[in-house]
Structure formats: C-alpha cells, structure tokens
Amino acid sequence: MITTEHSASLVAVTVFGEFTLADYKEFEELVNFKVQFQGQVDLLMDLREMAGFTLDVAWEEIKFSRQHAHDFRRIAVLTEDQWVTWSAWVSQLFVDAEVQVFDDEAEARDWLAETAEAAR
C-alpha cells in the first residue's frame, strides 16, 4: 500500500508493506500528471516501512526511470536498508536527477526544499 502527497514541485510517496504493481501504477500516474502540467519535480520516496516489492515493480521501475530520465530535479530516498540504498544509487544511472539517501525525513525534506526555493 502507498500514500501520496504532492505540492507544486514535490511528489512524496510512502510505501507500507509490499510495493505492488498497482501501487507503482498509482505513483506513475501522479508523476505523469505533475510533469505534464508543471515540468520537473522533486521526489521523496519513503521506503522505511516497505517490506519488499514484486518483480514486476522492479521491471516497471527500470522502464519508468528511462522514460522520465529528465523529469526530476532531486530524488530523496528515506530508508535504513542497505539493499535499498544500493538500489537507489544504481537508479541514479538512469536519471539526470541528484539522488540522496536519508534516514531522517526532516533532512530529506530540507534538502529537497533547497531546489524548490532555487527554482523560484
């Protein structure tokens, strides 16, 4: 299950339990809408409560990253899991965005706010 939050320049997603393809499609739809009407956005992915993900989500992530290679300014990933941290760094190969991994949400939001203020 996921929850989403968004503002003019930010899309925030929190994953609880298993990250399923239906969840990922919901995330994609929100990003597509934001990018279409507002251009580049920042992304906050809170994966601290994620129990895992399905193989089709991994495949969808690769396709999505390639399609949206230029649509993100910064991507903040919240996690304490080493595997997810490593995966975040690998995904940086597919996008132009700066990618940072955090374990503190306030720090992640502050980092993302830096670009939002600079873009104004």
The values of phi and psi at residue 88, to 5°, are -65, -40
Q: What percent of the chain has pLDDT over 70?
A: 84
* pLDDT confidence bin for 108, thresholds 50/70/90: very high
Range with the poorest average pLDDT among 80-84, 104-108, 114-118:
114-118
φ/ψ bin of 43: left (φ > 0), alpha (ψ from -120 to 50), beta (otherwise): beta
Segments forming the whole domain that contains residue 30: 2-119
Secondary structure, 3-state, 53-107: ECHHHHHHHHHHHHHCCCCEEEEEEECCCHHHHHHHHHHCCCCCCEEEEECCHHH
Looking up residue 102, the CATH number of its domain turns out to be 3.40.50.10600
Whether residue 8 is predicted with pLDDT greater than 90 in this model: the reply is no
Query: Quick check: helix, strand or coil at residue 43?
Result: strand
* pLDDT confidence bin for 120, thresholds 50/70/90: low
Most confident stretch, 58-67, 68-77, 78-87, 101-110:
101-110
The count of domains in the chain is 1
In this prediction, residue 52 carries a pLDDT of: 84
